[in-house]
Copies of this chain bind each other. A is one copy, B any other.
Amino acid sequence: MHRLFAVLVTLTLAVMASAASAQADPLPSWNDSAAKARIVALVQAVTEPGGKDYVPPADRIAVFDNDGTLWAEQPVYFQLAFAIDRAKALVAKNPDLAKRPALKAAAEGDIKALAATGEKGLAQLLAVTHANMTSDEFALIVRDWTRTARHPTLKRPYTQLTYAPMRELLDYLRASGFKTYIVSGGGVEFLRVIAEELYGVPPEQVVGSTIKTKYEVRNGTPVIVRLPEIDFVDDKAGKPVGIHKFIGKRPIAAFGNSDGDFEMLEWTTSAPGARLGVLVHHDDAEREFAYGRTSHIGRLARGLDEAPKRGWTVVSIKKDWKSVYSAR
């Protein structure tokens, strides 16, 4: 029996290997550019058995920023769009809420007035739209929003604004034995609702900003309650801290698009061995948005300046991507 088993396994593996070698381009939405070649070269280097840069699957950790890297982030971060839509719905039900300037501005969709309310205003908005409810309740509200909301200028569900080339890249890395994580400045409980469906990333592989929560038994039913208090901000120097706290391993590949991802790329690429740091540059006003050095959202200046000397790859959406959005 054992012998038969061994023969069958050997034959099966041989057939599988032959099928793999004949496989199609894993990144069909990418033009055959230097950026694509560097990504493929890293994957081949760390997966080649016996190669000098070989990394065992358990340590093949890849981290992805979300806003502006896996899906769009203009004219405002989509989680802010969610908060605004939510404020509108809540103010419609309870007009008294509009007595608070931040809620009034949000309900009117007046981003400028909302920004003028400062940190205190944003905390008010967060408390009303993101907290003082159970985690299950919040997840339902987010789920419902992703099904009904539409992007203000592109007039499509936000869930159709993920980037096809990046989704292929996630699939390609996973097929190459990588564990793919999202490491976002956005809220972890917001992202976990959608990350699996959009990106194939399960909840336990989403790292993000957190608000404090508490455990409570309500009428015999345990719940997790979301409190109106920031716990951790997963941005800039917070990204390596978040990676270290949640994953506890140093990634070998990091993908971002703004200076908020700088430290994540720095942390990832400054360890020994083959490493990959990639910045997506939004330079395609025609098919997407063009912004960077001076924009409020997704500012990318230091990253562009230092990418060459740090060996980071800058992806031009205009030149390197055949298509932009995923058609779903």
Asked if B135 and A244 sit within 8 Å, CB to CB, the answer is yes
Contact between A263 and B215, CB atoms less than 8 A apart: yes
Which of A8-16, A88-96, A312-320 contacts its partner?
A8-16
Contact B245 A188 (CB under 8 A): yes
**Residue-by-residue, is A1-44 near B (CB-CB < 8 Å gives 1, otherwise 0)?**
10011001101100110110000000000000000000000000
How many chain A residues have a CB neighbour from B under 8 Å?
Answer: 44
The reply to whether A240 and B215 contact each other, CB–CB distance below 8 Å, is: yes
A8 touches B8 (CB 8 A): yes
| A248→B1 contact, CB < 8 A | no
Q: When the two chains form the complex, which single residue of B8, B18, B217, B267 contacts A215, counting CB atoms closer than 8 Å?
A: B267
A246 to B203: give the CA distance in the assembly, Å: 9
* Minimal Cβ-Cβ distance residue in B for A232: B231
Is A176 close to B, CB under 8 A?
no
Find the B residue at minimum CB distance from A267: B222
CB within 8 Å of B: which A198-227 residues: 202-204, 206, 210, 213-217, 221-222, 224
How many copies of this chain are found per oligomer?
2
A140 contacts partner chain B, Cβ-Cβ < 8 Å: no
Q: Does A237 contact B (CB under 8 A)?
A: yes
Interface residues of A (CB under 8 A from B): 1, 4-5, 8-9, 11-12, 15-16, 18-19, 58, 135, 179, 188-189, 192, 202-204, 206, 210, 213-217, 221-222, 224, 237-238, 240-241, 244-249, 263, 266-267, 270
Enumerate the 3 nearest inter-chain pairs by beta-carbon distance, A residue then B residue, closest first: A203-B248, A215-B237, A8-B12
Can you name 8 A-B residue pairings with CB atoms under 8 Å? A1-B15, A135-B244, A192-B248, A204-B246, A214-B241, A215-B241, A222-B240, A224-B244
A5-B15, A246-B246 provided; 19 other pairs, C-beta below 8 A? A4-B15, A5-B19, A9-B12, A58-B202, A189-B248, A203-B247, A203-B249, A206-B248, A213-B244, A213-B245, A214-B237, A214-B241, A215-B240, A215-B267, A222-B240, A222-B266, A222-B267, A224-B240, A224-B244
